[in-house]
Amino acid sequence: MKKFLFLSLMVLIGCTSQQTTIEEGLVSSSTTLVENIDTTTSTSTTTTISETTTSSTTSTSTTTTISETTTSSTTSTTIQSDYPQLTISEVSNSIPEYNRDDWNHWIDDNSDCQNTRHEVLIEESQETVTYKSDTFCSVSTGKWFGFYTGQYYYNASDLDIDHFIPLKNAHQSGGYNWSSTKKEEFANYRLDPDNLIAVNLSANRSKGAKGPDEWKPSNTDYWCEYAYDWIRIKDYWNLSATQAEWDALVSMIETCPVGFVYADAQQEPVVELPTPTTTTSSTTTTSTSTTTTIASSQPDNPGNSKNCSDFSNYSEAKTWFDTYYPYYGDVGDLDRDGDLIPCESLPGAP
């Protein structure tokens, strides 16, 4: 009996030992399995990260290429415009010095006694003009709109006829190389109504020979048309512009009302008005009176007969200048900088 119990106990101990061994084996196997799985997962994760990095590098390269393409496209679009592109050229020091006398202006092209100044006054007046005498040579009153100031004027003495492109600017922009005939044509050209315009004399004297980079009309509503007219006239006469001048023109065009384009700025060519006439009897009756009036209201052109050294002070020079300027411009070339202040070196000059 004791032997039987001993054997039974041994069997039980052996079973327990085997079960423990099996369980440890299972645990060991399970642990190994888990470690393998972890290792596999780690390797898979590493591989995935590596692939993502490669993909990111490729994406960066692609983005750079797209950016370069976009920049090129934008530059191309900016060049497009509905107005001519003037040749950009800076003023050369090697060109001849400007001389206003080379540009013969205020001529009487059709021999009707009205010079270019008065022809323009007649053409641009919004009302029938009156004259200083029965000869109908010189305009006295009318109604003009001064685009530079945005105001109306009724006396011709309040106005200057402005060369829209100043003669000096035209000279510096390529006109220096023109013949005398072409210079005279430009200085008196009326087929384009914007080439010569009636403006307030103070505004014109403020402008002088300046381009749009140095002077703009006080009437900002006129900037858009001013820029378009400037470009059109220079393009027609094949004149260049400086870079600063062109940049100023472009900035003025940016003020244009929506829908207002380059073609809208051009006016219809002027049709010359018939020359007024008087009867023979009237002319005979007023012959003496007319001669006297002409002598006092429109003096003969003195030409370039005076120098600043001919005057003892500024007041004398100014009186002489103001006598002839309204009719013939600065014929004595006393106002070199175009500010309508002659002989600034003389005593008493402002």
300: exposed, middle or buried (Cβ count in 10 Å: 0-12, 13-18, 19+): exposed
DSSP 106: S
- The residue whose two tokens read 């006439």 is 277
Residue 1 bridge partners (DSSP): none
- Nearest of 323, 327, 164 to residue 342 by alpha carbon: 323
Between the CA atoms of 298, 104, 215 and 83, what dihedral angle is there, to the nearest 10 degrees? 130
Residues 6+ apart with CB under 8 A from 19: none
Residue 321 bridge partners (DSSP): none
Reported as a single tens digit per residue, the pLDDT across 142-183 is 999 999 999 999 999 999 999 999 999 999 999 999 999 999
Reported as a single tens digit per residue, the pLDDT across 32-50 is 333 443 433 333 333 333 3
Q: How confident is the model at residue 192 (pLDDT cuts 50, 70, 90)?
A: very high
Is the pLDDT at 122 greater than 80? The verdict is yes
Query: What kind and span of H or E run contains 262?
Result: none
Is the pLDDT at 272 greater than 60? The verdict is no
What local confidence, expressed as pLDDT, does residue 270 receive? 54
Is the pLDDT at 234 greater than 90? The verdict is yes
How many beta carbons lie within 10 A of that of residue 16, not counting itself? 10
Query: What kind and span of H or E run contains 197?
Result: strand 196-200
What local confidence, expressed as pLDDT, does residue 91 receive? 96
Q: Is residue 179 a contact partner of residue 162, using CB atoms and an 8 Å limit?
A: no
Q: How confident is the model at residue 324 (pLDDT cuts 50, 70, 90)?
A: confident
What local confidence, expressed as pLDDT, does residue 63 receive? 39
What local confidence, expressed as pLDDT, does residue 39 receive? 37
Is the pLDDT at 23 greater than 60? The verdict is no
Q: How confident is the model at residue 315 (pLDDT cuts 50, 70, 90)?
A: confident
Q: Would you list the domain boundaries of the chain?
A: 100-282, 301-350
How far apart CA 322 and CA 324 sit, in angstroms, is 6
- pTM of the predicted structure, to 2 decimals: 0.59
Reported as a single tens digit per residue, the pLDDT across 205-226 is 999 999 999 999 999 999 999 9
Which of 155-159, 202-206, 317-321 bottoms out in mean pLDDT, i.e. has the lowest? 317-321
- Per the prediction, the chain carries an average pLDDT of 76
